[in-house]
Amino acid sequence: MVGRPNVGKSTLTNSLIGEKIAIMSDRPQTTRNKIMCIMNTDNAQIMFLDTPGIHKPQHKLGEYMVRTAESTLQEVDVVLFVVDATEKRGAGEDYILNLLQKVKTPVILVVNKIDKLADKQKLFQIMEGYNKLYKFAAIVPVSALNDSEFPGLVQEITKHL
């Protein structure tokens, strides 16, 4: 799960922790990645990882951290790129998109906070905008705050396991 600070990664993680979640961890499992949660579905077990350092603009990161971020993106089955539907794409998003261009891993764009969008036409515009920048495997709108289940997201993730 990648995305600049405040887009709702922690909220999404917490909402994913419904009945189906087995583990929530706050400790780094390795020096590189942190398991955010593990979800058991009927036919799969999905481990969500956070990579400390991946969310910051590049000039603040050492070369080692950038390489670490890139290799994590390469090693996972699928990347969830979380963005805020109510804010313009910024440096944080561009930095991550740039990293994503360097790897072949499928990327699902998760457009979060759709509950805050009064005008649903805006959602379409955001999706169109991102769609022009990158060939996403899927684009899934969610409200991490209000939704308690994410069947569409889980279905898209499962395609890449």
Q: Give residues in contact with ligand GDP (CB under 6 A).
A: 3, 5-11, 112-113, 115-116, 143-145
142 annotated among ligand-binding-site residues: no
Residue number with the shortest CB distance to ligand GDP? 8
| Nearest residue (CB) to ligand GDP, 34 versus 63 | 34
Which residues are CB-contacts of 129 (< 8 A; sequence separation ≥ 6)?
89
Distance CA 32, CA 133 (A): 28
Torsion sign across C-alpha atoms 16, 22, 26, 27 = negative
5 annotated among ligand-binding-site residues: yes
Distance CA 152, CA 149 (A): 9
How is residue 125 written in tokens? 């515009």
98 annotated among ligand-binding-site residues: no
Distance CA 35, CA 47 (A): 7
| Nearest residue (CB) to ligand GDP, 73 versus 83 | 83
Of 119, 79, 85, which is closest to residue 101 (Cα–Cα)? Answer: 79
| Nearest residue (CB) to ligand GDP, 133 versus 145 | 145
* Site of tokens 């991102």: 130
Restricting to residues 8-47, which ones interact with Mg ion according to CB under 5 A?
9-10
Assign 3-class secondary structure to 36-49.
EEEEECCCCEEEEE
Restricting to residues 74-133, which ones interact with Mg ion according to CB under 5 A?
none
4 annotated among ligand-binding-site residues: yes
Q: How far is the CB of 52 from Mg ion (least distance, A)?
A: 11
Query: Considering CB distances under 5 to 8 angstroms, the limit depending on partner class, which of ligand GDP, Mg ion, none binds residue 116?
Result: ligand GDP
Q: How far is the CB of 42 from ligand GDP (least distance, A)?
A: 26
| Nearest residue (CB) to ligand GDP, 81 versus 136 | 81
Enumerate binding residues for Mg ion (CB under 5 A): 9-10
